[in-house]
Chains A and B, each alone.
Chain A
Amino acid sequence: MTPTSRFRKDRARLTAVALTAGALVLSACSGGGGGGGGGGKSQGPGEDKTTSANYSIGTKADSAGPAPEVPGAKKGGTVGVLQRDAFNHLDPGQIYYIDVLTNQLLYNRTLTAYKFDDKGRGKVVGDLATDAGTASDGGKTWTFTLKDGLKFEDGSPITSQDVRWGIERLYASYQSDGPLYIPQWLSGDGNDFRKALPDGPYDGKHLPSSVLDTPNDKTIVFHFRQPHADAPFATAMPNVAPVKAEKDTKQKYDNAPFSSGPYKVGDYKVGKSLTLVRNEHWDPRTDPIRHQYADRFDISFGHQYADSTRRFLADQGSDKTTLSFSNAVAPEMTEKVLNQADTKGRRLLEVQPYVDYISFNTDRLKDVRVRKALAYAIPNGQILQQNGGATAGVIATNFLSPAMDGYRPTDPFDKKAKPAGDPEKAKALLKEAGKLGQEIVYAYANTDVQQKVSVVVTQALERAGFTVQKKEVDSNTWRTAIADVKNKFDIYRTSWGADWPVSSTVVPPLYDGRQIADGAQNYGHLDNARVNADIDRINAIPDVKQAAPEWQKLADRVLTDDVPGVPVFYNRQFSLWGSGLGGVKYHPVYGSVDPTGVFVK
């Protein structure tokens, strides 16, 4: 995900709002949010899985339906879903956040999809397509063939024209919230691609067949401008999906998407609740990943983490058959969950593809020894503690998340052994550079957690021989402030989540010097010709499996040689659900609870 997707996770606190001339003062206070302070102590919860993820491209056989039966699964029943935030979108074109990404799995089928075995190994397989696509023209052209028997919720067949429509509507100006890889690869960077098809397909125009071709009802061909070895990952994004032209109500499609998956929208009260019911026209024989065990999903919004955790813990009545896609265990209830024996079989604690960093502004901190000293001094363990401790994350040792393909647990700054930082080493480096007492302008957002973090960071830096000047920034303007290339800060917290588990979605945006711009994500402003050249070299490798270790090597070299920041911790998802549900598993790419195989016991 882009950093903005992290925004919702962090939005733990609602602002107090005053309405009308003094007559009513409304104030609100939500429970502890994701990464909220306090709570879980760092004693080992015993579910510490930091093993590397392993992804591969699936075969035709892997792509064929039906999905392997979940042991013990039964048909029937209603699954309740408690979510804190209301869904911001149902339109697959607009979906980007963790909760709606997870939700769309139930009603939206994509060209390709992720399939996980019970050991957590992932494959990209064909979902609508018979396989994960065939590359030609040096990786610039990708061809997908649709399976037989694909149907929309009204029983009409899904054709390649429907997929084309789904992609072409992304060119319309109202489509603003979704990931834009495919249209950008096809038609132009940034927002330039929209010029290729203003207003999308709505006034009868289509992309030329030299860009996007549907030679027959079963085949769709993408002609990208550059080679993209990871195209099968990009086509697993929710907006590479079929949309039936006559059902496309543009903005209003957000309230009533037309289903291609095992469930369809039954009743939707925006901001309040969503009921998904069985889609009778979905054929399990065409679907390699989804099941249709439960009769329906009753999703309701507005459940603070404390509320959902309390219900799961109490585990009674209809709460027994209830889960949450993305609500974490409330930090203040972590201990209780870990200590209550009956939660063992109905909880998960997994690493998410999100990493928290502290970026160093290389424009201001030009001496690499100073940056190295900072990297040694930053107290990863204490920062994680302020973010919720062991159930909220794992100390990060390098730039790439364990959720990424090809991850290796390199640790150049010795973070595992010295979670509180290494002030001696830092001081020695400063002395060597003749910069003892170096002033550091440290910016942080004025949220509860970041204010607490600022205390431990300041202490650690001062112990290492820095002079710290704290700059508190309003959390509403925080992102704009640090994404300003000419910002007057030396260090600041940043974060990044990968859109798919291939590091081509991490290293280039974060460390490519040609991508430095206001609002872009190269927060350290690193512009190293050698790094840039390496990025181009690895991007050109046609096989993602071969590229993966190269990305790790490059990321490690950037971390050790250039030090444009230091990774602090890898986020974790700590989930709990009712005892009456089976088949609940983790979705490593989305970092949430995967509902596709859930059944009522």
Chain B
Amino acid sequence: MLRFLARRTLGALVIILLISAITFFLFFALPSEPALMSCGKNCTADSLAVINKNLGLDQPVPVQYWHYMAGIFTGREFSAGHCPAPCFGYSFANQQPVWDTIVDRFPTTLSIALGGAVVFLVVGVGVGMLAAAFRGTWIDKLFSSLSLLGNALQIYFVGVLALAVLVSGLHWMDNPAYHPITEDPVKWFTGMLIPWLVLSVIFIAGYSRMTRSLMIEQLSEDHVRTARAKGLGRSAVFFRYAWRGALAPIVTIFGIDLGSLFSGAIITEFTFSLHGLGRLAVSSVTGTDLPMLMAVMLVGCTAIVLANIVVDAAYALIDPRVRLA
């Protein structure tokens, strides 16, 4: 297991390095004048040159890349000031080290992603298992229709509806907002509840349908029949054998979903006026804040690659056949 993890981590590092190189060259090599982005509207050739020099953009791109990567570990000096490690550069837009902003936004994204994931995983898988257990009955049909409905809904629609009803209409909940869990766990929870629920609606539909079909598939597996032939009770067969078999694909998809949630849930953030990595990504794109965009992408990629490693590890725990491979 340790060797497995070590190997995968090494591989992940290579992938992240590759992605960083590709994005860096794409961003800094393709637009002819990155400095233009931070030059403002009364831009002159002189001020452009100054910016190029200050940002090191006058150097060859591979050299820039080297400085960039080295800066992550050692920090860098800019005309705007010292950028301590991990230095992902200075933002073109706000004259602050990019990392500070990432660190400020990441807890929001983490809260949205983890909380939402818990809700949609528990509810989605639970509903799917119920539907599979009562396959063909009204319970199954009800859940199937609800999941179709959930699938057709969009976050901004459900979100606006939830706000209008739960907050403005019934006054049951506060406006969604992020409060650090370390400062006030109750406020953190109540502020995040609506985003979690709304984010979950869409995922629940997918997870319940996936779980249902996986469970039905597993229930017709030979080894599940064997378990029944051994005299095991219905619930033992259902949970110990069928569910165990359905778990691996669920975990795989979950890992991927979680990974992409860690890189930001844009629509959720916009609907609920939250400031996570998703909004940061969008604002850095619209504002062509390349260092910020680069960092957000690196964080996003790292989250996805990490999620993949965790998925692989979890897969190995679930399925002994993978362990030796």
**A86→B280 CA distance, assembly (Å):** 11
Residue of chain B at shortest CB distance from A270: B94
Task: Indicate whether A43 reaches chain B with its CB closer than 8 angstroms.
Answer: no
Name B281's contact: one of A26, A198, A255 (CB within 8 Å): A26
Q: Is the CB of B40 within 8 A of A177?
A: yes
Q: Is the CB of A24 within 8 A of B304?
A: yes
A71 nearest CB across to chain B (Å): 31
Task: Indicate whether A310 reaches chain B with its CB closer than 8 angstroms.
Answer: yes
CB-CB < 8 A to B281: which residues of A? 17, 19, 26
Name A30's contact: one of B93, B168, B270 (CB within 8 Å): B270
Contacts A24-B304, A271-B94 given; does A316 touch B266 at CB 8 Å: no
Q: Is the CB of A271 within 8 A of B300?
A: no
Residue of chain A at shortest CB distance from B171: A316
Name A176's contact: one of B39, B101, B168, B274 (CB within 8 Å): B39
Q: Is the CB of B283 within 8 A of A314?
A: no
- Residue among A14, A15, A317 with the highest chain B CB neighbour number at 10 A: A14
Residue of chain A at shortest CB distance from B275: A272
Q: Is the CB of B93 within 8 A of A88?
A: yes
Residue of chain A at shortest CB distance from B174: A317
**A254→B23 CA distance, assembly (Å):** 29
Binary contact readout B36-54 vs A (1 if CB under 8 angstroms, 0 otherwise) = 0001111110110011000
B171 nearest CB across to chain A (Å): 6
Within 8 A of A (CB), among B221-273: 259-260, 263-264, 266-267, 269-270, 273
Q: Is the CB of A251 within 8 A of B95?
A: yes
Task: Indicate whether B144 reaches chain A with its CB closer than 8 angstroms.
Answer: no
Q: Is the CB of B275 within 8 A of A254?
A: no
- Residue among A14, A19, A88, A311 with the highest chain B CB neighbour number at 10 A: A19
Task: Indicate whether B129 reaches chain A with its CB closer than 8 angstroms.
Answer: no
Task: Indicate whether A28 reaches chain B with its CB closer than 8 angstroms.
Answer: yes
Task: Indicate whether B212 reaches chain A with its CB closer than 8 angstroms.
Answer: no
- Residue among A28, A29, A251, A311 with the highest chain B CB neighbour number at 10 A: A28
Residue of chain B at shortest CB distance from A311: B175
Name A255's contact: one of B94, B160, B273 (CB within 8 Å): B94
**A254→B156 CA distance, assembly (Å):** 34
Q: Is the CB of B40 within 8 A of A300?
A: no
CB-CB < 8 A to A313: which residues of B? 168
Task: Indicate whether A498 reaches chain B with its CB closer than 8 angstroms.
Answer: no
CB-CB < 8 A to A530: which residues of B? none
Within 8 A of A (CB), among B4-59: 19, 23, 39-44, 46-47, 50-51
B43 nearest CB across to chain A (Å): 6
Binary contact readout A1-34 vs B (1 if CB under 8 angstroms, 0 otherwise) = 0101000000100110101110110111110000
Task: Indicate whether B167 reaches chain A with its CB closer than 8 angstroms.
Answer: yes
Task: Indicate whether A174 reaches chain B with its CB closer than 8 angstroms.
Answer: yes
Q: Is the CB of A302 within 8 A of B270?
A: yes
Contacts A302-B274, A303-B273 given; does A272 touch B19 at CB 8 Å: no
**A94→B278 CA distance, assembly (Å):** 27
Task: Indicate whether A180 reaches chain B with its CB closer than 8 angstroms.
Answer: yes
Q: Is the CB of B285 within 8 A of A319?
A: no
**A94→B42 CA distance, assembly (Å):** 10
Contacts A86-B283, A252-B81, A317-B174 given; does A176 touch B43 at CB 8 Å: yes
Name A254's contact: one of B19, B95, B263, B297 (CB within 8 Å): B95
**A21→B300 CA distance, assembly (Å):** 11
CB-CB < 8 A to B282: which residues of A? 14, 17, 26, 28
Residue of chain A at shortest CB distance from B301: A20
Task: Indicate whether B137 reaches chain A with its CB closer than 8 angstroms.
Answer: no
B211 nearest CB across to chain A (Å): 23
**A304→B167 CA distance, assembly (Å):** 16
Q: Is the CB of A314 within 8 A of B168?
A: yes
Q: Is the CB of B266 within 8 A of A176?
A: no
Task: Indicate whether A280 reaches chain B with its CB closer than 8 angstroms.
Answer: no
**A418→B273 CA distance, assembly (Å):** 42
- Residue among B91, B95, B269 with the highest chain A CB neighbour number at 10 A: B95
Contacts A19-B263, A28-B266, A269-B104 given; does A307 touch B273 at CB 8 Å: yes
Residue of chain A at shortest CB distance from B45: A191
Residue of chain B at shortest CB distance from A90: B94
Task: Indicate whether A194 reaches chain B with its CB closer than 8 angstroms.
Answer: yes
Task: Indicate whether A150 reaches chain B with its CB closer than 8 angstroms.
Answer: no
B297 nearest CB across to chain A (Å): 6
Within 8 A of A (CB), among B148-207: 156, 160, 163-164, 167-169, 171, 174-175
CB-CB < 8 A to B317: which residues of A? none
Residue of chain A at shortest CB distance from B261: A24
Residue of chain B at shortest CB distance from A172: B47
A216 nearest CB across to chain B (Å): 32
Task: Indicate whether A173 reaches chain B with its CB closer than 8 angstroms.
Answer: yes
Task: Indicate whether A306 reaches chain B with its CB closer than 8 angstroms.
Answer: yes
Task: Indicate whether B220 reaches chain A with its CB closer than 8 angstroms.
Answer: no
Name B104's contact: one of A176, A272, A307 (CB within 8 Å): A272
Q: Is the CB of B101 within 8 A of A310?
A: no
Q: Is the CB of A310 within 8 A of B164?
A: yes
CB-CB < 8 A to A317: which residues of B? 174-175
A174 nearest CB across to chain B (Å): 7
CB-CB < 8 A to A316: which residues of B? 168, 171
Q: Is the CB of A310 within 8 A of B163?
A: yes
Contacts A19-B281, A173-B46 given; does A271 touch B101 at CB 8 Å: yes
CB-CB < 8 A to A24: which residues of B? 259-260, 263, 300, 304
Name B50's contact: one of A20, A173, A252 (CB within 8 Å): A173
Task: Indicate whether B322 reaches chain A with its CB closer than 8 angstroms.
Answer: no
Q: Is the CB of A29 within 8 A of B270?
A: yes
CB-CB < 8 A to A94: which residues of B? 40
CB-CB < 8 A to A30: which residues of B? 270
**A596→B169 CA distance, assembly (Å):** 32
Residue of chain A at shortest CB distance from B272: A307
Q: Is the CB of B279 within 8 A of A302?
A: yes
CB-CB < 8 A to A29: which residues of B? 156, 267, 270
Residue of chain A at shortest CB distance from B286: A14
B92 nearest CB across to chain A (Å): 10
B280 nearest CB across to chain A (Å): 7
CB-CB < 8 A to A28: which residues of B? 266-267, 270, 278, 282
Q: Is the CB of A306 within 8 A of B267?
A: no
Q: Is the CB of B44 within 8 A of A194?
A: yes
Q: Can you list 26 residue pairs at the A/B interface with Cβ under 8 Å?
A: A4-B41, A14-B286, A17-B282, A17-B285, A20-B297, A23-B300, A24-B263, A24-B300, A24-B304, A27-B267, A28-B270, A28-B282, A173-B44, A177-B41, A191-B42, A251-B95, A252-B80, A270-B91, A271-B93, A300-B273, A302-B270, A304-B270, A307-B163, A307-B273, A310-B164, A311-B175
Sample of 7 more A-B contacts, CB < 8 Å, known A176-B41, A307-B163: A19-B281, A23-B259, A24-B304, A174-B47, A180-B42, A272-B275, A302-B275
